[in-house]
Amino acid sequence: MSKVIGRRLLLTIPLLFFVSLIVFALAQLVPGDPAVTIAGEQATAARIEEIREKLGINDSTLVQYGRLVGGLVQGDLGTSLYSEQKVTDALFTALPITLSLAGLALLFVIVVGIPFGLLAGTRPGSLLDRILTAVAALGVAAPGYWVGILLIIVFGLGLGWFPTGLYVPFGESPTRWLYHLILPAFALSLAGIVEVTRQLRSSMRDAMTADYVRTARAKGLRQRTVVLKHALKNAAVPLVTVLGLQVNVLLGGAIALELVFGFSGVGALAVRAVQNRDIPVIQGIVLLSVVVVSLSNLLVDLAYGWLNPKVRAQ
């Protein structure tokens, strides 16, 4: 097991190198002069030069890249061009909000998507299967933030059951944390629930017609054992892939939902940074998300090893 982790981590090194290059290129590719952007069109030439010096834009490309990597190694992501706040500080304030939202949504995806997928996959063609399939088709087509808006209209403005914004930290009150997160997390999870249901449905259908399931039935095992042990463990391989991809999708989806619900998470930070062309913040967010996604990929790989002995052997 530790071997798998070790090899995975080794593989991350070239990946991080690539990512740092891309992140660096982001800053280099910005058209125009960032110093002018920050100082404003009317600033004096001296003021602009001062900012250029501060940003280090006057140095050679290689030196700039070296500084970026050097900063990264020390955990320093630079300073926001706009608020003068350290990027790491901004990220650490915003991250718990986004992680809460995405984490709760992932939980919904798992506890709702998997049972739905199992039900639909083991009874292909049944009424339940057809209803779930139809709902899934709609669910995958509806943008999450729009669903969020509809939820606000119905449950917030209309019925008044749930708050329509404001994040409450978990440390402050776990129940209010949950209460405020339910609507956005549900809206965020919808696409994932649908994806998991669809994937599990089709892989369970395949597994249920596989020869080894016939063998399991021929052995006289209980239907429950056949489905939940023999079929599910094999159907879980593509399921894990989809769940891994969900981390990626949820992080992306969180951006718009944070805006809709007025959470100041990483997504909101990103949108503001883009509007201000605050490149260091963008760089920081991109790096952070790559780390999160790489971690989830590692978990996925470990899960593969457990589910598929053939992978483990290699």
Report the 10 Å Cβ neighbour count for 229. Answer: 13
Question: Taking CB under 8 A as the rule, does residue 7 contact another protein?
Answer: no
In sequence order, the 6+-apart residues with CB closer than 8 A to the CB of 152 are 164, 183, 260, 261
Report the alpha-carbon distance of residue 295 to residue 287 in Å, rounded.
Answer: 12
Among 5, 9, 26, 228, the residue binding another protein under the rule CB under 8 A is 26
The residues in 121-180 that bind another protein, with binding defined as CB under 8 A, are 125, 137-138, 140-143, 145-146, 149-150, 152-153, 157-158
x/- letters, 275..294, toward another protein (CB under 8 A): x-x-x--x--xx--xx--xx
Question: Taking CB under 8 A as the rule, does residue 31 contact another protein?
Answer: yes
Question: Taking CB under 8 A as the rule, does residue 297 contact another protein?
Answer: yes
Among 22, 107, 166, 228, the residue binding another protein under the rule CB under 8 A is 22
Among 77, 185, 190, 259, the residue binding another protein under the rule CB under 8 A is 259
Query: Over the range 56-91, which residues count as b (16 or more CB within 10 Å of their CB) and which as e?
Result: eeeeeeeebbeebeebbeeeebbbbbbeeebbbebb
Question: Taking CB under 8 A as the rule, does residue 242 contact another protein?
Answer: no
Report the alpha-carbon distance of residue 93 to residue 186 in Å, rounded.
Answer: 23
Unique residue bearing structure tokens 């250029």? 52
Residue count, binding to another protein (CB under 8 A): 72
Question: Taking CB under 8 A as the rule, does residue 256 contact another protein?
Answer: yes
How near is the Cβ of 244 to another protein at its closest, in Å? 11
Q: Which is nearer to another protein, 181 or 287 (CB)?
A: 287
The residues in 52-111 that bind another protein, with binding defined as CB under 8 A, are none
